[in-house]
Amino acid sequence: MIVYGIPNCDTVKRARAWLAEQGRDYTFHDFKKAGVPEARLDAWIAALGWEPLVNRQGTTWRKLDETVRAGIVDAASARALMLAQASVIKRPVVEWDDGRITVGFDAARWAGA
């Protein structure tokens, strides 16, 4: 299992704490240190679509110029933004052992994983 995110993100902290409580082993991929893996981003977009990956509620999104935000209209424009500004990706992105990919943290949903 691989958990992708930013270590100081509160949601990532909660998710990692929950995984530790459950005794789940995982590898953590830090977007700030290791960047966004392009091939994985492409796989996430293919599996989930681009919309769930763009965190439109976060500070990074709100700080973007209005013309930049208005230009995010498809997978290609969203992909370019996510590669340029990893903190706009909703976190955490998790690649589960069974091949599923989830975005965000939901303890009730994760409990069945």
- Phi, psi of 51, rounded to the nearest 5 degrees: -60, -45
3-state secondary structure of 104: coil
Residues with Cβ within 8 Å of residue 60, at least 6 apart in sequence: 85, 87, 88
CA distances from 88 to 35, 39, 41, 46, 49 (A): 12, 18, 13, 18, 15
> Does residue 9 have an active-site annotation?
yes
Q: Which of 3, 9, 36, 89 is catalytic?
A: 9
Residues with active-site annotation? 9
